[in-house]
Amino acid sequence: MLLVGNHSSYLDAPAVFRALPRARRDRMGCAMATEPFHPLFTNAGTLGQKAWQLWRYVATVLAFGAFPMPRAGGFRASLEYAGELVDHGWSVLIFPEGKMSPDGDIHVFRGGAGLLARELRIPVVPFRVTGLWDALPPEGGRRPTPGPVTLRFLPALILDATLSAEECVREMERAVRAG
């Protein structure tokens, strides 16, 4: 399956993984943006910044089976990798907004998720997370604030193969917003 949902906090992926049965989360790949780790792959940043970025990158890959999904262009290899995961019985988690919400609201889903859904032809399971932006907003520091959190998995979408990638992503966005 392809899991798609809103992205409001660094805690979104851990919440989704925690909510899934162990057998499902052990065979889940998570698409992640490469831009937050940009200093790691360029000459930008100090050695200390690079060490911190490397630690975060490795921890994310190991904990969530993460693979890179660039936000703009050059994502063909990532799409192919997602297809290989599915071919081997894995599911894929993606946050189609492309980045964390700066205000906790759901923002426009990007087209790559629609292309992925159209090409993979697997059930799309939308979900909606609420409360995590308040617990740990993107720029909110390193310690979460306790509070109510809801993660709601919505009915699976079986997207028609005749839909365009744009139509697929709009269907997914509608489902998540309605959740």
- More confident: 70 or 77: 77
Query: Where residue 127 falls among pLDDT bands split at 50, 70, 90?
Result: very high
Beta strands across the sheet bearing 91-94: 66-68, 28-32, 91-94, 2-5, 124-130, 150-153
74-105: pLDDT as tens digits = 677 888 888 899 999 999 999 999 888 999 99
Q: At what angle do helices 111-120 and 76-87 cross, to 10 degrees?
A: 40
Across the range 116-144, mean pLDDT stands at 87
Beta strands in 33-104 (DSSP E): 66-68, 91-94
Q: Which of 45, 24, 177 is nearest to 93 (CA)?
A: 24
Q: Are strands 124-130 and 150-153 parallel, antiparallel or unpaired?
A: antiparallel
154-179: pLDDT as tens digits = 999 999 989 999 999 999 999 999 98
Is 60 exceeded by the pLDDT of residue 36? no
The confidence score (pLDDT) of residue 37 equals: 54
Is 70 exceeded by the pLDDT of residue 11? yes
Measured over the CA atoms of residue 81, residue 86, residue 92 and residue 94, the dihedral's sign is: positive
Domain ranges of the chain: 2-178
Structure tokens at 41: 């792959």
